[in-house]
Amino acid sequence: MKERFAFPWLTACFIALSACSAAQAPVPSAQQAVKPAAPASTGYVLKNTEVRDIASATLHRDYQVFVSLPPSYEEQPTRRFPVVFVTDANYAFPLIRSIATRVGDHGSGLEEFVLVGLSYAKDETPTYSRQRDYTPTPNGPTSKDAVSDMPGRSPVYGEAEAYRKFIADEVFPFVAKNYRVDMHRKIFSGHSYGGLLGVQMLLTEPTMFERYIISSPSLWFDNKVMLARERDYAAAHKDMPADVLMMTGGYETINPASKDKRYNHTRDMVRDMQTFEAQLKSRHYPGLHIESQTIADEDHLTVYPDAITHGLLWALPPK
C-alpha cells in the first residue's frame, strides 16, 4: 500500500519543533495585555469662532468665512457690534483675534467687534486665489513671480471687481442675517494685494465700508494703474465719503546707499502710498478723511501686526 506521507520523520520533527517554540514563547504580562492605546490627537480650536461655507452664485466658486465673536456677544443679546472684514484670513484672522483680546481688554482698550475673515477659494492655493481675486487688471507680473503654484493652471489676475461684488452682494447679506452686527459700521482691513483690493473698493464704491485700514497696498501693480484710476474717479465725482488710514513699513522704500537687505530693491511702496494720499487730498473731497503712517523698523513681511494694531485703535477706540 502506498504511504500517505513520503517522509514520516520530517513530520515528527516539525511537530517537535513547534511544541518547543510554543514552550519558549514569552507570555504577555498583565501590564502589556491592558496597555491603553494612545489618545487621538485633535486640532486646536479658537474659542467663540465659526467657519462658514459660502457657495458663490456669481463667481461659481466656494469660499469660507471665519467669524470671531467678542466676549460680551452672548452677555448683551440686544447689542449690535461693529464688524471688521479682513482679507487673507488664513494669516490675519487669528492675528487680529489675538490683538482684539490682548489690546481690546474686554472693551477697555478697543471697542468690541465681530471679526469676519475672508478666506481663499476652496481647493485653491492662497497665492493663486489672492492674486486673482485681489488684483484690478489681468496685467500681472511678467517675471518668474507669475509662475502658477497650481500645476496645470496658468496664473490669473484681474478679478478684483467681481470679488468686490461677491463681498457686497453675498458675504454682506450672509453676515447681516446670521450675526448681530451693525452694517453701518463696517471696517475693511487688507495688506499688500489685500490693500490693493481696498483701494479698488475705495475708487469704485467708497461707501461700501465706513472705514478702511489699508496696509502696504501694492500700488506698483500694472504700472501703478490705481493712480490713473484715481484721476478717472476725480474727473467723475465730487466726493469720496470714507475714512482711510494707510500704512507702510519704513523699509518698504529704496535706499541704494544702505546695505541693509530689508530695504526694497525695485518698488518704493512708501512713495507710492504718499503719492496716492497726496492725489486724494488735492481733490478736497468734503467727505474724505485720509491719513498715512510710515512705521519705522518694519518691512513688507513684518509691518502688518503693527499696522493692524494701529488701525484698530484708530477705527475702534474704546467708548
Q: Mean of the pLDDT values across residues 175-200?
A: 98
Confidence of residue 146 (pLDDT cuts 50, 70, 90): low
Q: Mean of the pLDDT values across residues 37-54?
A: 88
Confidence of residue 42 (pLDDT cuts 50, 70, 90): confident
End-to-end CA distance of the chain: 108
Cell digits for 283? Answer: 481733490
The domain over range 50-315 is classified in CATH as 3.40.50.1820: yes
Query: Closest Cα to residue 290, out of 300, 281, 302?
Result: 281
User: CA–CA separation, 232 vs 124, rounded Å?
Assistant: 34
pLDDT tens for 94-105 read 999 999 999 999
**Residue 266 predicted with pLDDT over 80:** yes
Return the pLDDT at 264.
Answer: 95
**Residue 109 predicted with pLDDT over 50:** yes
Strand partners, 295: 249
Return the pLDDT at 144.
Answer: 59
**Residue 21 predicted with pLDDT over 70:** no
Confidence of residue 10 (pLDDT cuts 50, 70, 90): very low
**Residue 246 predicted with pLDDT over 80:** yes
pLDDT tens for 158-167 read 999 999 999 9
Percent of the chain scoring above 90 in pLDDT:
79
Where along the chain do its domains lie? 50-315
User: CA–CA separation, 1 vs 129, rounded Å?
Assistant: 83
pTM for this predicted structure: 0.86
User: What average pLDDT does the structure give for the chain?
Assistant: 90
Q: How far is CA 64 from CA 61, 72, 167, 175, in A?
A: 10, 24, 12, 12
Q: Mean of the pLDDT values across residues 227-242?
A: 98
Is there a contact between 212 and 292 (Cβ–Cβ < 8 Å)? no
**More confident: 27 or 52:** 52
User: CA–CA separation, 110 vs 315, rounded Å?
Assistant: 9
Is there a contact between 181 and 80 (Cβ–Cβ < 8 Å)? yes
Return the pLDDT at 14.
Answer: 42
User: Which residues, other chains included, contact 223 with Cβ-Cβ below 8 Å and sequence gap of 6+?
Assistant: 139
The torsion region of residue 67 among left (phi > 0), alpha (psi -120 to 50) and beta comes to beta
Q: How far is CA 129 from CA 26, 122, 174, 200, 201, in A?
A: 59, 9, 21, 17, 18
Confidence of residue 19 (pLDDT cuts 50, 70, 90): very low
Q: How far is CA 248 from CA 51, 91, 107, 270, in A?
A: 30, 18, 27, 6
Q: Mean of the pLDDT values across residues 217-236?
A: 98
Amino acid identity, position 224: K
**CA torsion, ordered 119, 299, 112, 195, to nearest 10 deg:** -50
Q: Mean of the pLDDT values across residues 217-222?
A: 98
Strand partners, 74: none
| Secondary structure (3-state) at 174 | helix
Phi, psi at 122, each rounded to 5°: -65, 145
User: CA–CA separation, 31 vs 50, rounded Å?
Assistant: 43
Q: Mean of the pLDDT values across residues 3-18?
A: 42
pLDDT tens for 70-84 read 999 999 999 999 999
